[in-house]
Amino acid sequence: MSNSYRGRFAPSPTGPLHFGSLVAAVGSYCQAKSQGGEWLVRMEDLDPPREVPGAADDILRTLEAYHLNWDDTVLYQSQRLDAYEHALNQLATNGHTFPCACTRKSIAANSSLNIYPGTCRNGLAPDATARATRVRVNSDTVNFHDGLQGTQKINLESDVGDFVVKRADGLFAYHLAVVVDDAFQEISEIVRGTDLLDSTLHHLYLQKLLALQIPRYVHFPVAVNAQKEKLSKQTHAPAINTTQPGAMLEKALTFLGHEPDADVINANPETLLEWAVKNWDLERIPRQLTISV
């Protein structure tokens, strides 16, 4: 019987892997491998101004040092621009998008919660110049069942507003690229941090408009620092080392509710991951953050 589980890890090469991204890699890897599935890596190099030269290769070498071996070849979003253009055209042809002349500043001036106030949705003002492309949302409440966080609901119109699918600087937006690629790579389940929970509602909406296959979703708590800030490049999360991957892997597994048994403590990454895959159980992952790092 063929197994159709396909999971993925989709780092942005904006810097080296830090503990937060290691947790995302380990969680998605164990979830895929515990079901005999495939685990793919997609490099989300869609935003050159935010990228750090060499970071993509550095991330891949770090994954190798942690024995997080991916299936198939790595997909690079920078090679997929035609597919995003095609999806954008599909949305435009079906009347789902509109050009928008607003700036962040003008939106903030017209909306207390930074929700797009609909300024350009019925056409640009005569003297306005189009900058970004937005997708028109509707007043339906989007809801979905998250494998860990339970039922999530959002009303895109009142909570988010029409959102950007192509940015003013000409780059495709993450929301568009991610749904196009998850469908292209036939990802059956997405395992990632709760920082992307709200994004999922955008993704479900675009998947519907583009008639794409809808994957299952599981969002685990994200690691924070002592100031309760999400670990990221912006909060200066340190790069994880590759000289002693075992210790860091034990920490990531513990964070995900899978503290290694005594007989594998201090084992090498390969043995630790084998143990984790064998003992993997979503029920053990805390829904909310209980520890900070």
Site residues, ligand GLU (CB under 6 A): 10-12, 44, 178, 192, 196
**Min CB(180)–ligand GLU separation in Å:** 12
Which residue type occupies 133? T
Closer of 6 and 131 to ligand GLU (Cβ): 6
For ligand GLU, the closer of residues 57 and 261 by Cβ is: 57
Say if CB 120 and CB 101 are below 8 A apart.
yes
Q: In whole angstroms, how close is the CB of 122 to ligand GLU at the nearest point?
A: 32
Closest distance of CB 249 from ligand GLU, Å: 19
Q: How far is the CB of 187 from ligand GLU (least distance, A)?
A: 10
Phi/psi for 282 (5° steps) reads -55, -35
User: To the nearest whole angstrom, how small is the minimum distance from the Cβ of residue 44 to ligand GLU?
Assistant: 4
- What's the closest the beta carbon of residue 13 comes to ligand GLU, in angstroms? 9
- Which DSSP string corresponds to the chain? -----EEEE----SSS-BHHHHHHHHHHHHHHHTTT-EEEEEE----GGG--TTHHHHHHHHHHHTT-PPSSPPEEGGG-HHHHHHHHHHHHHTT-EEEE---HHHHHHH-TTS----TTTT---TT----EEEEPP-SPEEEEEETTTEEEEEEIIIII-SEEEE-TTSPBPHHHHHHHHHHHTT--EEEEEGGGHHHHHHHHHHHHHTTPPPPEEEEEPPPB-TTSPBPSTTTTPPBPPSSSHHHHHHHHHHHTT-PPPGGGTT--HHHHHHHHHHH--GGGS-SS-----
Task: Give the nearer residue to ligand GLU in terms of CB position, either 30 or 272.
Answer: 30
Give whichever of 102 and 183 is closer to ligand GLU, judged by the CB atom. 183
Closer of 182 and 250 to ligand GLU (Cβ): 182
Least CB distance to ligand GLU at residue 56 (A): 12
Nearer to ligand GLU, 11 or 246 (CB): 11
Nearer CB in complex with ligand GLU: 44/51: 44
* Residue 163 neighbours by CB distance under 10 Å: 20
Give the list of residues 6+ apart from residue 196 with CB closer than 8 angstroms, or none.
Answer: 219
Shortest CB 10 distance to ligand GLU, Å: 4
Is 20 or 117 the residue whose CB approaches ligand GLU more closely? 20
Determine phi and psi for 160, rounding to 5 degrees: -125, -50
